[in-house]
Structure formats: C-alpha cells, structure tokens
Amino acid sequence: MNIEQLEHVAEAAKAGSLTKAADHLHVSLSAISQSISKLEKELGVQLFIRNRQGTALTAEGIRIMEKAEKILAAIGELKEEANRCSDTLAGDLKIGMIPGPINLLIDMVSAFKTDYPNVKVEIYEMGPVKISEGILNNDLDIGLVLTSQSFAVQNHELIAEKILEGKMVAGVHKQSPLAKLDRFSPEQLFKETLVLYNDDYIKKFAYDTLSPYGPIDVLFTTNNTEAIKRAVQSGVAVTLGMDYSFRSRSPYPNETVIPIEIDGADKEALHLALIRRKDKVPSLKVKEFMRRIHRELR
C-alpha cells in the first residue's frame, strides 16, 4: 500500500468514474485501474462496483475511504508542518463564499499572501448549497455562508461556526433622495425597483418582507457585483444585502452606495458562519486562515 494508491481511490470515489479520475490526476486509465486493483488485492476487499455508468464504492469501500481520507489529510498536514519548520506554507487554499461580503476578506487575504507567498488563495462566490457541496466533495477547504434559525446549515457532516452577526439592509446611491431616509418601512421599500444578489437568503428575505404588498419589482438577479453597483449608482434600482457587505472600500468604492436600515429586519438573528467538514482535520494553512478569520471578524 502507498500514498499514490490512496490518492487514486479517493479521486475515483469523488469522480464516480475511473476515466474522470485518471484525467483529473493526469495518469493513464490503465495505471489508475491497476493501482486500485492491486490495493483491493492487498486489502482483500472489493472497494468499487464497476459498471457502464461508472464506479461506486461498496459498503466496505465506504468504510475504507473514510480512513483513507483521514490518512491523506494527515499526510497533507505533515507536509505543511515540514514547510512551517522552514518558515513557509505552500499549496492551494480554496474558499467558497456567498455573494456580497467578499470585501471582508480583501485585507485579510492580502496580509495572508504577504506572510505565506507560496499559498495560492482562491475565493469562489456561490450559493450556500454549492458551497456545502464543494466542501463535502473536497473541492473547497472552507466556506462562509449565512445562517439563521430558519436558514441553518442542515448537513450533519458539516460544522458551522458563527463568526459575525448582522442584519439585512437596503443599499442606495449616496446622491439619491432615498439616502436622506433613516430607515425604510417595508411599504416604502416595496415601491422601489430592486436588483438582487443571487443568494437564497436574500431572495427569501425580499419575498417574505415585500410580497404581502404585491408583486415585487426585481430588475435582475445576479452574482455580478459590478452590475448591481452600476444599477444602484445610476438610480435605476435599490439593492439588498447584509450590513457588513457595505463595509470597507469594496464592493462599493468610496462609499457611493450606502446602507439604509429596514424596519423589522432585525427580528431574526443572522450570522456569517464558517463551515467545514466535521470528519476532516484542517491542514495547517486552513487552520492559520481560520485563526485570522476569527481574529479579524469577531
């Protein structure tokens, strides 16, 4: 048994196909097939069911895979510990984040890159379901999502740690007459045209808050921050988001878009939460970045 065989098994389980696993690992199909067959022979168990639809773990394979993932995580941590001994961390750090509050990470990522230039940080904006799937499939290391009593992370394989409390606000252009308001009532907000982030909670909040007054006027829904910013700056629409999404210089440089509180938006406590796999030991670079998140955002 060797590390390469465990990596082959893990990739085949993740991809659901030996062909796809071979492509992802840049090895031949015969090489990965022989590698897995040798491991099955050595262990004395069949790890995969192979058919025309692809490959699927057997019951024994699922149990073996759980152990293999822990071994591979420990090996990754061992490598990073060696790097730390030479004052360096290296490798990829992949973070999934809901649209909007990415501005909270800009300075943090910049400082992290300065301290650990050999770590490649990648941030992906996506919805909470995709973030959860990415973490469970090991495509992402950690995620940042919105949670509340009615919008909690349900998957028992994930850990959610509350990081930052916030509330929903409306975003208007600072030169708009609406900027003179101290707060919006739902009736006032209903009369405005909206541009929304393609985020499940934001869409739910808009529907729950405004639909009792009639059909909601939504110009468009997107994850394109620049498009939302331009629509608000032009006076065409108002946007919705968490209050901490309007902090710092991004995504709204020079504070051209300002937050206005919404009546009743604080009825339910909302939190930005960090999620990760419960059964996976975080690597050293992940631990270091999580430590900074807790320090900077709490």
How many domains does the structure of the chain reveal? 3
Partnered with residue 273 across adjacent β-strands are 145, 162
Mark whether 201 and 160 lie in a shared domain. no
Mark whether 182 and 260 lie in a shared domain. yes
Contact 196, 223 (CB under 8 A): no
Tokens of 71: 């071994």
CATH number at residue 182: 3.40.190.10
Mark whether 122 and 160 lie in a shared domain. yes
How far, in Å, CA of 214 to CA of 104, rounded? 35
Mark whether 147 and 280 lie in a shared domain. yes
Cα three-residue angle 280-283-285, rounded to 5 degrees: 145
Mark whether 172 and 261 lie in a shared domain. yes
Mark whether 54 and 75 lie in a shared domain. yes
Residuewise pLDDT in 10s, the chain (298 residues): 888 888 898 888 888 888 888 888 888 888 999 999 999 899 999 998 888 778 899 999 899 988 888 888 888 778 766 765 555 678 899 999 987 777 788 889 999 999 899 899 999 988 888 899 899 888 999 999 888 766 666 677 888 898 888 889 999 998 889 999 999 999 999 999 999 988 888 898 999 999 999 999 999 998 788 899 899 999 999 999 888 877 654 444 456 888 999 998 877 778 889 999 988 878 888 989 999 998 888 7
CATH number at residue 12: 1.10.10.10
pLDDT at 123: 93
Among residues 83, 106, 121, the one where a domain terminates is 83
Contact 222, 228 (CB under 8 A): yes
Tokens of 296: 């900077």
Helix (H) or strand (E) holding 144: strand 142-147
The domain in which residue 111 lies consists of 88-164+271-297
Mark whether 189 and 150 lie in a shared domain. no
On the question of a cis peptide bond just before residue 251, with omega within 30 degrees of 0, the verdict is yes
Mark whether 37 and 76 lie in a shared domain. yes
How far, in Å, CA of 101 to CA of 275, rounded? 15
| Beta pairing class for 158-166 and 270-277 | antiparallel
Tokens of 172: 């208007």
Residue whose tokens read 């509330």:
167
Among residues 83, 107, 139, the one where a domain terminates is 83
Contact 35, 8 (CB under 8 A): yes
Mark whether 51 and 136 lie in a shared domain. no
Mark whether 157 and 278 lie in a shared domain. yes
